[in-house]
Structure 1
Amino acid sequence: MSDEIPVIRLHTKNGELVARDGLVLSFFIHRNHEDVAHAIWRALQIYLRAIPPQSLGWYGSDEGDMVPLDDEGWEHNRKQILERSWGTAWIVELFENAGGGGSYQFEYHGRRIDEPSWPTPQNPATSVAFTFPTEYLVTHGPEHFRTLALEIARELPFSFGYASPAIISSSGAWFSLRKQVQEVLQRYLGLDLPRLGETSRNIGTQARGAYWLTFLGQPLLGQLGGRETVERQLDLPGVSVQSLDEERILVTLGERPEALDTERQSIPLPYREMTRVLEPFLFYEEEVTGLPWDPISLRLRNRRLGE
């Protein structure tokens, strides 16, 4: 199991851990915050029950500070998700620790997607992400993780979602080591670099790419021709298509997640075919602010698995 996802520990010169290997489970929802707030809260409770107690110990305050996640902090974040009615964005960030290298994180960006004040050409989506250390997968196995991902997904009216091996780093702390991050991502094409806030500002109803677990809902699934069309196009060994309901499906590429080490293997056919199916709706215009790529390089990175 541990061979598929490399051990990654990126430290600053003074020894601070700012990024590490893990898994991310993300969803993008074409709904306003107030329409999904309670579903987001239920999904968070599922996540909390699945991870070790007290795994989340800090949160990002409205002023941008890291604050201990005590009872008062939980109440603040509960109100932020369930009770605050004003504004155009709802941001909740919960972390394992106050530094950049924590394994367990929860991040939510609620939007009013039809808000006329959004600057053009932004096309926002409400989004949520849950992260795990690779050790969680090693301990519990890929089928347990997939079952947990499905349990969380069933709460959410997503348009697109995915689970993937990833470089985990809180609040963009990886930026100080962006050259090392780029080197890792260039070698391991299956690794994701979650940037939920930036991605959710523009992804709309598009897909971010092909992943081990790829969740397709409305309106994206309809644009792809529906379940039967997707299933027919992905009739390959090792690929499964499972319905959550009439509006949502999960496509699983293989029994377990892979980092796709370019020094050891070519891109597996299921990933290439999944990229081909999603190609007309792939999200290419992700913001490059803070990334170790220019816009052209990022576009190539986002369609890397279709080569």
Structure 2
Amino acid sequence: MNKYPLLQHFSTTLPRVQLVLRIVFYLPHDHRVLAPVLRQVLDTYLGFIAASGGALTSGYDPDISEDSFPLTPDTWGEVHTELEKARFGPLEDMDQDSFWFWTLTKRNYDTWVLLKGGHSEPDGYEFSFESRLPWREPSSEHSVLSVKLPISFLETQGPEKAFALARSLAELLPFSTGHAGLSLSFTRGRSKLLPLLKEQLSRHPGWHVPPPLTWGLGPWIDDVHWLNFLGPPLLETVGGIQALRSHLSHPETTVQELTGGRALISLGAEPLAGDTKRGETLPAYRELARFLEPWLLPFPHVNTWDGYTDEEARLWWRRFLEAPPEKIYDPRGG
């Protein structure tokens, strides 16, 4: 049985949707704080994907070019400069009539570096860094570092390599929360494609749908995943390592203490899609969701999922908290 249904592309009719392994860290810091480690983070990712023949081939950074650009030695140098330099201090110290104050506040981010693999179409490899605006009194917004791996990486390198990459990045980054797991990736047309995926999303609860914007995550946790990283002060808020270990008893769940008062909760040896039609409801994920429910990102007051009723969107949002559907197919029955 294929562990990752439909591989990278869902079908010839939905080529703009991919299933990937996505690793994300939410960082309560401005770019100038993160700049010293970003080059090492990028190099760590590139080293891991090179082992599987992966590479990043094109980039987008509005401070380099208005259009995407091929990654050549010259443009790689510009990307490194954009990541490494601490560009701005607090916006309150800038002239409010200046070009940069107007530009930054209009686009609502400091830096956005997006690097992708593939040629005519993305191949599933991706590195993205978005930094929040550097106000003197920070809001609940976060800077966000995310990378993606195609399903082929899991199949050829094994989930152990994906786990090692996530751990390596976690050791470098001062995160508040983070996660890694199976995720949908939309090359374009997200709002039009989501309504076509209702049946698949209901059937495979292990597939995550990334929110279009993550700036306002605040103190919340973005869903439950294969790997779940908790940093300060959230780890203390939930009761610390001992509370996690005493409340999480599923045999596939492990809780590891990381440096700096942080923790990693692993839900099995590999990421799972689940299949509710076969009775695969991901009980370890459900147990963690019940424990973390007070801190999980709540269902938004306004339904942002085009083509879904409020109830359909709510049920997906709470798929690990609601009672699982009855199994309607037993693979052992032939």
> Smaller-chain TM-score range?
0.7 to 0.9
Match for residue 209 of structure 2 among 151, 171, 193: 193
Judge conservation of contact 2:61–2:112 (CA < 8 Å) in 1. Answer: no
Q: Name the aligned partner's letter for residue 61 of structure 1.
A: D
| Counterpart AA for 1:181 | L
Q: Deviations over 1:250-297 (max 9, x none)?
A: 111112111112211242321111101211111125686575546664
Instruction: Describe how 1:139-150 pairs up with structure 2 within 5 A.
Output: 139-150=156-167
Equivalent residue for 2:126? 105
Q: What 5-or-longer segments of structure 1 have no aligned partner? A: none
- Root-mean-square deviation (CA), in Å? 2.7
Counterpart selection for 1:126 from 133, 137, 143: 143
| SS of the residue 2:87 aligns to | coil
**Corresponding residue of 1:205:** 219
The answer to whether structure 1 residue 181 and structure 2 residue 197 are counterparts is yes
After TM superposition, give the deviation of residue 242 of structure 1 in Å: 0.8
Query: How far 1:226 sits from its partner (Å)?
Result: 1.1
- Identify the residue that residue 264 of structure 1 maps to in structure 2: 278
> Does residue 1:225 correspond to 2:239, yes or no?
yes
Tell me, in whole angstroms, the C-alpha distance in 1 between the residues paired with 2:134 and 2:298: 19
Is contact 1:231-1:241 (8 Å) kept? yes
Matched, 1:93 2:114: yes
Structure 1: how far apart are the matches of 2:136 and 2:121?
Answer: 32
Is 1:302 equivalent to 2:310 in the alignment? no
The separation in 2 between residues aligned to 1:181 and 1:65, in whole angstroms, is 30
Residues 178 and 272 (structure 1), Cα distance of their counterparts in 2 relative to 1, 3 Å cut: closer
Give 2:153's aligned residue: 136
Answer with 264-273 or 252-261: which moved more.
264-273
CA distance in 2, matches of 1:29, 1:290: 26
In 1, the alpha carbon distance for the partners of 2:259 and 2:205 equals 31
Distance verdict in 2 for CA 1:219–1:17, change over 3 Å? same
The structure with the largest alpha-carbon Rg is 2
- 2:3 touches 2:273 (CA, 8 Å); kept in 1? no
Are residue 65 (structure 1) and residue 55 (structure 2) matched?
Answer: no
Equivalent pairs counted in the alignment come to 298
Query: In the alignment, is the contact (CA less than 8 A) between 2:117 and 2:123 conserved in 1?
Result: yes
The answer (yes or no) to whether the contact 1:107–1:130 under 8 Å persists in 2 is yes
Residue 268 to residue 12, structure 1, CA distance change in 2 (3 Å) = closer
Deviation at 1:243, TM superposition (A): 1.2
Asked if the contact 1:4/1:259 (under 8 Å) is kept, the reply is yes
Q: TM-score scaled by structure 2?
A: 0.80
User: C-alpha separation between the residues in 2 aligned to 1:12 and 1:198?
Assistant: 28
Does the CA-based 8 Å contact 1:209-1:283 persist in structure 2?
yes
Contact 1:214 1:250 (8 Å CA) reproduced: yes
TM-score normalized with structure 1 length = 0.86
Q: Could you list the runs of 5+ residues in structure 2 that have no partner in the other structure?
A: 89-103, 323-334
Indicate the residue corresponding to 2:33 in structure 1. 35
Q: Indicate whether 1:239 and 2:224 are aligned.
A: no
User: Is the partner of 1:208 in helix, strand or coil?
Assistant: coil
Cα distance, 1:30 vs. partner? 1.6
**Which of these residues, 248, 253, 266, is aligned with residue 252 of structure 1?**
266
Moved more, 212-221 or 97-106: 97-106
The Cα of 1:94 is off from its aligned counterpart by: 0.6
Find the aligned partners of 1:190 and 1:109 in 2 and give their Cα distance: 25
Q: C-alpha distance in 1, partners of 2:233/2:304?
A: 28
CA contact (8 A) 1:284 1:299 kept: no
- Describe the shift of the 1:173–1:45 C-alpha distance in structure 2 as closer, same or farther (beyond 3 A): farther
Matched residue type, 1:222: E
